[in-house]
Amino acid sequence: MQPIQIHDVVANEFGQVNEYIVSQLSSDIPLIEQIGYYIISNGGKRLRPLLVLLAARASAELDTSKLDQAIQMATIIEFIHTSTLLHDDVVDESDMRRGKKTANEEWGNAPSVLVGDFLYSRAFQIMVDVGSMRCMSILAKTTNIIAEGEVQQLINCGDPDTTEESYLKVIQYKTAKLFEGAALCGAVIAEASAEHQEALRQYGMYIGTAFQLIDDVMDYTSTAEEMGKSVGDDLAEGKPTLPLIYTMKHGQKDAIERVRQAILTGGLEQLDTIINDVQSCGAIEYTQQKAQEQADLAIDVIATLPDSDYKTALIALANASVKRRN
């Protein structure tokens, strides 16, 4: 199953989500709408709102009321995600995302941060309309943990002694947690059983981790055009991702020193050589294997869900998370 077919099983709902997203970007401040439209329409895959819809549909038949709530929840998740992107690009001083200038490059840091705040607050406004205290509790905790993950990543930047365990904790906090919240909220809205809610929560965490692991692989295997951002961005920021951590543990002595120095200084002077170091020591294969393990766990954990096109799409989404090129 290709990604377009994954979306096809909830195509109608997905269209409604996109319409609702646009309606909720409305503001009396033109700059908010301008930046909001720019970042929201900038070619994202909308995987997290897709996950809300698939999790809800895979859990139960949805009446009109619950379907409306699922569409609202998908929008909430996308707004939270987009807000984190705006803030991340400022923190990382990024100039390109999804093949276009970042909002901070186009308008400056202050407007980007403030529009990110607007999207966060609008997400919680919609959450009140949904009226689910359970979902509100889930997402309040989720956003808090994402912030903790971002701070921990900032602490790890420039630290070549970051362990694999510490790295995995960061990506589970800053990336996988929103996937987890998306899947769990979809199940909660559908009033799934406690067993199925837990299964979908774990599913989201596993595919979110796999997604980020592959994202980190692509920094050393893909072109800027494929990724939609500059090659070597993680290295430039001194981020000790798993391919680099593995290289420092299993690479040749000179490769280990090169990677350590690059993380310490956050430079790209030896990018081509370091890419070769990472590719030649087995770091790419190791990280891909770890991602595949997470995808396999995601598929295993939803085995108890009733068979349906939506469950099939969830399985396909887990597989697609480790086979993507962008």
186-218: pLDDT as tens digits: 999 999 999 999 999 999 999 999 999 999 999
Q: What is the pTM of this model?
A: 0.93
- For the segment 237-259, the average pLDDT, to the nearest whole number, is 94
- For the segment 301-312, the average pLDDT, to the nearest whole number, is 96
DSSP annotation of 96: E
Q: What's the pLDDT at 230?
A: 66
Residue 162 · residue 240 · CB < 8 Å: yes
Q: At what angle do helices 242-250 and 194-218 cross, to 10 degrees?
A: 60
When mean pLDDT is compared across 237-241, 291-295, 308-312, the lowest value belongs to 237-241
Kindly state whether residue 2 falls inside one of the protein's structural domains: no
Dist CA 62 CA 189 (whole Å):
9
Kindly state whether residue 24 falls inside one of the protein's structural domains: yes
Nearest to 132 by CA among 203, 27, 56: 56
Give Cα 151 distance to the centre of its chain. Answer: 16
Residue 299 pLDDT more than 80? yes
Domain that holds residue 19: 8-322
Point out which residues pair with 97 in neighbouring strands.
100
Kindly state whether residue 79 falls inside one of the protein's structural domains: yes
Task: Report pLDDT digits (tens) over 51-108.
Answer: 999 999 999 888 899 999 999 999 999 999 999 999 988 888 888 887 788 989 989 9
Dist CA 106 CA 188 (whole Å):
39
Kindly state whether residue 3 falls inside one of the protein's structural domains: no
Residues recorded for the chain: 326
Residue 85 · residue 120 · CB < 8 Å: no
Average pLDDT of the chain, as a whole number: 91
Residue 224 · residue 95 · CB < 8 Å: no
DSSP annotation of 172: I
Task: Report pLDDT digits (tens) over 121-161.
Answer: 999 999 999 999 999 999 999 999 999 999 999 999 999 99
Helix and strand counts by DSSP (H, E) for the chain: 18, 2
Q: What's the pLDDT at 1?
A: 39
Kindly state whether residue 285 falls inside one of the protein's structural domains: yes
Tokens of 45: 């895959």
Kindly state whether residue 1 falls inside one of the protein's structural domains: no
In a 3-state reduction of DSSP, which class is residue 190?
Answer: coil
Give Cα 235 distance to the centre of its chain. Answer: 19
Residue 183 · residue 305 · CB < 8 Å: no
Point out which residues pair with 96 in neighbouring strands.
101
- Domain total in the chain: 1
Tell me the CA distances in angstroms from 302 to 56, 128, 277, 310, one per residue in order. 13, 29, 38, 11
Q: What's the pLDDT at 4?
A: 45
Q: Which amino acid is at 99?
A: G
Residue 317 · residue 54 · CB < 8 Å: yes
Q: What's the pLDDT at 3?
A: 45
Buried b (16+ CB within 10 A) or exposed e, 134-155: ebbebbeebbebbeebbebbee
Kindly state whether residue 316 falls inside one of the protein's structural domains: yes
Task: Report pLDDT digits (tens) over 1-30.
Answer: 344 478 899 999 999 999 999 999 999 999
Residue 43 pLDDT more than 70? no
In a 3-state reduction of DSSP, which class is residue 101?
Answer: strand
Rounded to 5 degrees, φ, ψ at 176 are -65, -30
Q: What's the pLDDT at 226?
A: 59
Residue 97's domain is classified under what CATH number?
A: 1.10.600.10
